[in-house]
Structure 1
Amino acid sequence: MRATNNLIGFLNFLTFLLSIPILGGGIWLSTRANNTDCLKFLQWPLIIIGVSIMVVSLAGFAGACYRKSFLMYLYLWAMFFIIAALVGFIIFAYAVTDKGSGQPVMNRVYLEYYLGDYSGWLKDRVASESYWSKISSCIRDSRACKRIRRNVGGFPEAPEMFYIRKLSPIQQQGKLT
């Protein structure tokens, strides 16, 4: 039993240490959040995830080290809800993106993605003007379009060369905006 408590305490101490960079990343994003919608969108989930992992890890660590059954029950229930939430998110993400896949296009190396292939919820979110302005802002802020531009001999590459290049889905969407 002592080895089990030591192992649980050690693992929770590691997860506590790993929560520090997550929380730090959220705080770092909040200092830069005035710049873009993408950073504002990501800062609070990172901060909440970092604090949640930190609190649950501390409860597990303290419960294991000091043999406090209340803290261990709290830790186990919190882990249950965290795991259930992650499984729910995975099922939701799979359900809204299940039917969407790239279609081959003649004389193009990349695949074409159609919004109509995805679930109604996702279509409505992406097609909504308020959400699309945030999505397009993220694409612009990532400079995806500038990164895919190439010069050949000091001149912009010909469209034929561009069409045969392998592009990621984000780069494909970026060329349309």
Structure 2
Amino acid sequence: MGVSNNITAVLNFIALLASMPIMGAGVWLASKPDNECIHNFRWHVLILGLLVLLVSLAGFVGAYWNKQGLLAFYLGCMAILIALLLFILLFAFIVTRPDGTYHVPGRGFKESMLDGFSPWLRNHVTTSRSWNKITTCLAVSDTVSE
């Protein structure tokens, strides 16, 4: 086994081990039905952990036993995951770039208004389905006190 395969196998084994706490967090979030905010993220975290597990397992097995098909699958999946992460990063940066904050005289913090954010984010937040989830989440949390 070559040096590059050894490095690939070790890195994928570390990623394999790191995927287990991610999946554990997803299972833990799924078992906590009392918090509506956490309820919205439970399946996303679990699926992310499962995808990392499968891709790192394919990379580890392919590198350790020099299976060219698994290494090709691993490289393709890793390229797709990297492209998706870059897309999400750019999308989040573009959507949240106008942050909607403004200075208030006499206060040490900035106030926010929804009008200062991007039109896509405003429309997404103010739809009845999204807004109902947000208000339910805020109502059960200690974020907004009356």
Global fold match (TM > 0.5): yes
**1:152 alignment partner in structure 2:** none
Letter aligned with residue 5 of structure 1: N
Give how far 1:48 is off.
0.6
Letter aligned with residue 98 of structure 1: R
Matches within 5 A, 1:16-31: 16-31=16-31
Letter aligned with residue 126 of structure 1: V
Matches within 5 A, 1:24-173: 24-32=24-32, 34-144=33-143
Q: Which runs of 4+ in 1 moved over 4 A?
A: none
Structure 2 unpaired stretches of 5+: none
Q: Secondary structure at the match of 2:41?
A: helix
For CA contacts below 8 A with separation 6 or more, give which structure has more relative contact order.
2
Cα separation, 2, equivalents of 1:139 and 1:38:
8
**1:155 alignment partner in structure 2:** none
Provide Cα deviations, 1:84-136, integer angstroms capped at 9, x if missing partner.
00000011111111112421101111101111111111101222233122223
Q: Secondary structure at the match of 1:103?
A: strand
Provide Cα deviations, 1:33-84, integer angstroms capped at 9, x if missing partner.
x323322211111111000000000000000000001000000000000000
Cα separation, 1, equivalents of 2:92 and 2:30:
26
How many corresponding residue pairs?
Answer: 146
Percent identity at matched positions?
35
| 8 Å Cα contact 1:36-1:137 kept in structure 2 | no
Q: Which moved more, 1:127-136 or 1:116-125?
A: 127-136
- TM (normalized to structure 2)? 0.92
Q: Secondary structure at the match of 2:105?
A: coil
Report the structure number with the largest CA radius of gyration.
Answer: 1
Q: Secondary structure at the match of 1:112?
A: strand
1:5 paired to 2:1: no
Letter aligned with residue 7 of structure 2: L
- TM (normalized to structure 1)? 0.77
| 8 Å Cα contact 1:59-1:75 kept in structure 2 | yes
| 8 Å Cα contact 1:59-1:71 kept in structure 2 | yes
Cα separation, 2, equivalents of 1:129 and 1:111:
27
Letter aligned with residue 28 of structure 2: W
